[in-house]
Amino acid sequence: MTALTGYLECWDGTTLRLPTVCQWRFSYGMGDPCDSFSVTCLWDGTLAQSLPEATRFQAVWNGETVFTGVVDECESAWEDGGTRLTVEGRGMAALLLDNEAVGSDYQVATLEDILRDHVAPYGISVAQADAMPAVSGFSVSTGSSEWQVLDRFARCYGGITPRFDRLGRLVLTAPAAEITCTLTANTALTALVLREKRYGRYDRVLVRDTAGQKLYTVVDQDFSARGGLSRKVLTMPNKTGYEAMRYNGAYQLRQSAREARMLEASLTALFPAWPGACVRVEDAWPGCAGDWRVEEMTCGWNGQGTYSTLSLSALEGGTL
Tell me the pLDDT of the chain (320 aa) as tens digits.
Answer: 558 999 999 999 999 999 999 999 999 998 778 999 999 999 988 888 999 999 999 999 999 999 999 999 999 998 777 899 999 999 999 999 999 999 999 999 999 999 999 999 999 999 999 999 998 888 898 899 999 999 989 988 888 889 999 999 999 999 888 898 999 988 999 999 998 887 878 888 888 877 667 787 888 888 888 888 888 887 776 666 666 666 777 777 877 777 788 999 999 999 999 999 999 999 878 889 999 999 999 999 998 899 999 999 988 644 32
Find all residues with CB under 8 Å of 70, minimum gap 6, and list them. Answer: 55, 56, 57, 89, 90, 91, 92, 94, 95
Please state, in angstroms and as integers, the Cα–Cα distance from residue 87 to each residue in 8, 75, 133, 166, 317, following that order: 9, 6, 41, 18, 42
Going by C-alpha positions, the residue among 149, 153, 118 that lies closest to residue 133 is 153
Do 303 and 185 have their domain in common? yes
Do 184 and 313 have their domain in common? yes
Q: Please answer whether residues 72 and 47 qualify as being in contact, where contact means their C-beta atoms are separated by less than 8 angstroms.
A: no
Entry pTM:
0.87
CA atoms within 13 A on the CB side of 176: 11
Domain boundary among 91, 113, 146: 91
Do 9 and 59 have their domain in common? yes
Number of domains the chain is built from: 4
Do 24 and 46 have their domain in common? yes
Do 190 and 312 have their domain in common? yes
Do 49 and 9 have their domain in common? yes
Laid out side by side, the sheet with 215-219 consists of 215-219, 204-209, 231-236
Q: What is the CATH number of the domain that holds 51?
A: 2.30.300.10
Domain of 10 in residue numbering reads as 5-91
Do 277 and 166 have their domain in common? no
Do 220 and 295 have their domain in common? no
Do 112 and 145 have their domain in common? yes
Domain boundary among 57, 91, 125: 91
